[in-house]
Each structure stands twice: as structure tokens, then as C-alpha cells.
Structure 1
Amino acid sequence: MAITRSGLFTLETSNPRFFTCCARLHVKVALAIIIFFLGFLELTEWYVYIFVDRAGESADAGQAILSIWQLVSIICMTLSFITEKEELLIPFILFMIFVVTSFAFWAMQILVIVMFPYSERANHLLGFRDDTDFMMREKIALTVLSVFATITTMTGWFLHVGLACYVYFQSRNRENKVKASAREARPPMVAPLAAEPQQPKPADNFPNPNFSISDDEDVDEEEDKVFEQKVGPSMV
């Protein structure tokens, strides 16, 4: 496993499926970019609700629920980025599924208007008047379609990053569990006990058990006695 940095920005770069944007951007780095982007949008939205006159009063219950859901998703995304827990990405993934589905639905509606610019749906959704010519209708419809297509593509990429990060965090946690279980199952390394030093045996200067110093002294005494007995009378 290739590691770029240790700590919070530890990245596994050996698996190509954890990269996006033509394999140039890691999914965890992409998740950090999405967190900053959505956080900026959320702060701007709450600023408008609080400080702009009657902006918060005009918001309905649906907009309030979506704003709270988005705020919870951003908080969970941040915690998931720090702790690498895949369960915290579920609110963001569900929110992105809802957003992508909604924008894709509206993009299909605008595509129908591009194909049938004089339909009642076109007059109702885009506010065309009866005297609006064909070129103006097509220009407005294509502009709106490009905006919805761009937002749908971008939110679809957000969803892709969320799902990829979910799998990435799941594989990382599974790998850490395997390593932890392997460390627990490994027997402890015990250093062998040092052998007790043996005391040296006293040197034996007389290895022959039949010979001793007392025997040598006895032989000398017997020789002296023999010489004393052989001494005869003096010659005159």
C-alpha cells in the first residue's frame, strides 16, 4: 500500500478505483473539496435567511427541511473525513441521490420544451408569451437546459465521490481490523533467559589419587633409618 502522508491525510494510492477526474484526484481529497464548496453555499444560504429582509419568512417548510438536511450532511461529511467512518457518509449520499434525481427530472422537462417550444408546458414553466418567436424560445430553453445539465453533472460527480469514499473508508477500516486481529493473535516475543554462570572448579594439582605429599615424607624417613642402621664400628 502506497502512502503519501501520515495522519489525517493518509491516502491509499495503490488502487486506481479510489481516484476520480481521469485518475488525477484522490476521492478523499475530492471529498474535502466538496465539503468546502457545500459549506460555502450553506453559509451563504443561512446568511440570506438571517440577514436579508423577509428572506427567512418567505421560505416554506420544504426549503427549511432541505437546508437542515444539507447542514447535517456537511457536518457528517466533515466527521467522516476526519474519522474515516463510512456510516457518516450516508446522509450526504441520500441527499445527493435526491438532488441528482430532482435536477435530472427538471432537465428532462426542459429537454421536452426544447423539442416542443410552443407547448403549454413551455409557456407554463418558462413563461413564454404568445408573441415570443421560435428562436427566442429555443435560446431560452437551451440556456436553461445547459444550466440544469451542468448542475446535474456536478451533483452526479458529488454522488460518485460520496459512494467511492464510502467504499474507500470501508476497505480502510476492514484492513485495520485485520491488522489488529493479526497483532492480537501473534504470540508475544519473549527473550530467552540467560544461563546461570557456572563457578569454575578448583584446579587439582595432583590428579593421581594414589599419590600424596604424606607418602613422599614417609619414604624420606625410611631412607634415613636405613642409612643409620648400616653405620658400622670405626676402623682403627
Structure 2
Amino acid sequence: MTQKTVLITGAARGIGLATARLMLERGWQVAMLDRDSDELAVAARDLNGAAPFVCDVSIAAQVDATVPAILDRFGRLDALVNNAGVAEFGPIEQCDFSMWRRVMETNLDGVFLVSQASIPALKDTRGAIVNIASISGLRASTLRVAYGTSKAAVIQLTRQQAAELGEYGIRANCVCPGPVRTKLAMAVHSQEIIDAYHDAIPLNRYGSEQEIAEVIAFLCSDQASYVTGQIIASDGGFESTGVGLPALRG
């Protein structure tokens, strides 16, 4: 009951799975939460010290049933990583309310619901919340009216959590990944898109899932014990350059 435990949502693949593996390597117990039961079972199969929990974070009743089950299994909760998210892109005039709600339900409502359910346990351990937003929450881009707005809201929610939960010793921080070399991104990004991103990013490359996981793990750890309310863009410098970098390079 003394080994630290982290709950990671959206843990069946991508950044969530990379974070689960890294936290296990660093001696944490891991509750892996995802709504894709088949993919989650495969992901958790060979991860000793991890336990899968099937849950849709956008459904309050499922969240309210799952968080107590995690506490029953592990006995404590020291960190929460709100990573679950969906992405639907399209022109602003083609974003109808049903698309808007699908994105908000997972990306924003899910962060709120899991955080609220976890606060009592995090108060007991003076734990940490790490919300995963996106570079799209910091800078506008075409085709992302719902996605970008949801991630900007997660950034503000993080600040609210830091402001209000600090008195309990709970820290809340937000990680905003830039372009990451995931299987999905590489499947849908043309060479032209890849080249454009490389040109706009000072480090001239995509990030890796492992690199994002390292930032998340740090914010969960005691090494970040005086870090709260921070928005960290893990993006190769993409957000910091603003407009015009490619032309200036030329």
C-alpha cells in the first residue's frame, strides 16, 4: 500500500501507453484506463504492475464506478494523467453541434469528470494531476475549431485546478504536445505536411511518444514538487516561434 499509483486515461496506445511503460520502469503501479477494451487488454498483457480498467471518460456513471474500483485494487492514488482524447478535424462551417459535442465530451468533460472523482484520493496523498492538452490549445490552426477549443479549455481547467487544489498539496500541470510521430500521424500526414512541420519546428523534427512521456513522468514525480499551474509545450519549439520562422531561415 506504500507503492505509488498513477491512473492514466487513454492508456491503450500512443502517449498514454508510453507513459504507462515509463511509470512502471520507475517503480509506480499503473491503472490503465481506456474505452477500447480489446486494445487495452493487448496493451496491458505484458505490463507487470499495471491493471486495465475499461471506462469511457465521457460517461459520468462509468467514471464514478471505475475510480473506486481502482482504489480498491491499488489502495491509493498519487497521480492522475488525463490523456484520453479524440480528434475530429474539418472546416469550421462543417463542424455541426454533434461533432462539437463528441470532441468536448471526451477532451474536456472527460478531464473534468475523472479529475473530480479522483480529488478525494489525491488529497490523501498530496498527489498530482497532469492534463494532456495540445499545441492546438495554444495557437489556432485551420480545421480544428472543436479540437483546438477543447484543448484551450483543458489549459484553463488546469489553472483552475492548480489555484483551488493547491491548499491540499495537490499539484496540477498541463502538457501540450506538438507534432508527435505516432502511427496515426504517419499514416495520415503526407510528405508535404511532414516537410512543412519540419520547416516550422526549430528542432526540425516530430517528437516521439517517449519524449512526451518523460515530461509527464517528471510532473508526476517528487522532482516537480514545487511545480504547479504550469503549461508546458513539449513541441520542439513550435509554439515559441510564432509566425515567419521558415521564411527567416530561408
TM-score, normalised to structure 2's length?
0.24
Which structure is higher in strand share?
Answer: 2
Which structure is higher in helix share?
Answer: 1
Higher radius of gyration, 1 or 2: 1
